[in-house]
Structure 1
């Protein structure tokens, strides 16, 4: 009789052990599924930012951004680079270098240093009014056309429609200037 009780207890323990093993396997599988779903959710996560100076919705998702975000930073960057006076040039150049891609930094720094000497020496002021901004996200470039006025002292020296091509990078949702050059206004690469 004691043998029957022992066998029943052992068979109950084995059944309980099988049940616990099954529960452990189900919990482990649920954890693995939760990990993969978390990774997928993190990759699809979007951050929506609406700063006070922006009147449109700006969307950043990883290294993908919308055109409004790019246009906002292009206006800001061009404002730093092309709207200056002898007094403000140095600070604006330093601020602009903060938004410069590492591989373009030294080249832009050298150009701005040379321009700084010219601006200080000739007392040049420059104004640029962008009228059209075209973003080519697949090529990571922007073409900006606008009116540029240049003054020496208080005398208008040059007034012309200029077109600039900017190259950019988006790294972790942040805009970086990777190149800028003036292109021929008559040959507009649209």
Structure 2
């Protein structure tokens, strides 16, 4: 083999080597770009899921009205209907129905408030059972501002079968929305409102 042909083969192999290196570099760059794009898309989808509004039907919500809830917010209609569902559990009761009602209500209380709210409601529940106290609260109107719902209605209280009072009362429930679920963060019951009277449970 002549020196000329050997030199040409050397340069051909060198060019092929350089071309291969360029292709490898380009391939690595493409892989890097795709990886970054996939990671960015993942973060985008996570953020989109957090901000997405989900249409849910809370207990008691009619067919015509709809309420929405997202990761950290809820629509006014949703909170109105949640209030109409939750509030009677602690404002309308009979000694025989009190325990299951309080248990259901506590499932919706924020974890930070659970212990104190449970102790207070159970204490007042024991007093209601001991003295044969019952009451019923007829909700007439619910107003929502932000995550706070105010329910106004007619409260009737009884000892045994005898009605002892009838008056218009207002209850206020504050909510926290966590990962698309509403929690009761605070409830204010007016001083003459029976169970929960004169008590505030807030963060």
Cα distance in 1 between the residues matched to 2:94 and 2:190: 23
Unaligned runs of 5+ in 1: 186-190
Decide whether aligned partners of structure 1 residues 59 and 38 sit closer, same or farther in structure 2, where only a CA change above 3 A counts: farther
Decide whether aligned partners of structure 1 residues 24 and 93 sit closer, same or farther in structure 2, where only a CA change above 3 A counts: same
Unaligned runs of 5+ in 2: 193-203
| 1:123 is aligned to 2:136 | no
After TM superposition, where is structure 1 displaced by more than 6 Å over at least 4 residues in a row? Answer: none
Decide whether aligned partners of structure 1 residues 34 and 57 sit closer, same or farther in structure 2, where only a CA change above 3 A counts: farther
2:160 match: 153
RMSD of aligned alpha carbons = 2.2
Q: Give the deviation of 1:183 after TM superposition.
A: 4.4
> Is 1:163–1:184's contact at 8 Å kept on the other side of the alignment?
no
1:31 match: 35
Decide whether aligned partners of structure 1 residues 51 and 165 sit closer, same or farther in structure 2, where only a CA change above 3 A counts: closer
Q: Give the paired residue count.
A: 183
2:176 match: 169
2:87 match: 78
- The secondary structure found in structure 2 opposite 1:65 is coil
| 1:11 is aligned to 2:15 | yes
Once the two structures are overlaid, the 10-residue window that deviates more, 28-37 or 175-184, is 175-184
Cα distance in 1 between the residues matched to 2:20 and 2:93: 79
- The secondary structure found in structure 1 opposite 2:61 is coil
2:196 match: none
Mapping 1:45-64, distance limit 5 Å: 45=49, 46=52, 47-50=54-57, 53-55=60-62, 56-64=65-73
1:98 match: 107
- The secondary structure found in structure 2 opposite 1:100 is coil
Higher Rg of the two aligned structures: 2
Cα distance in 2 between the residues matched to 1:131 and 1:86: 24
Decide whether aligned partners of structure 1 residues 50 and 97 sit closer, same or farther in structure 2, where only a CA change above 3 A counts: closer
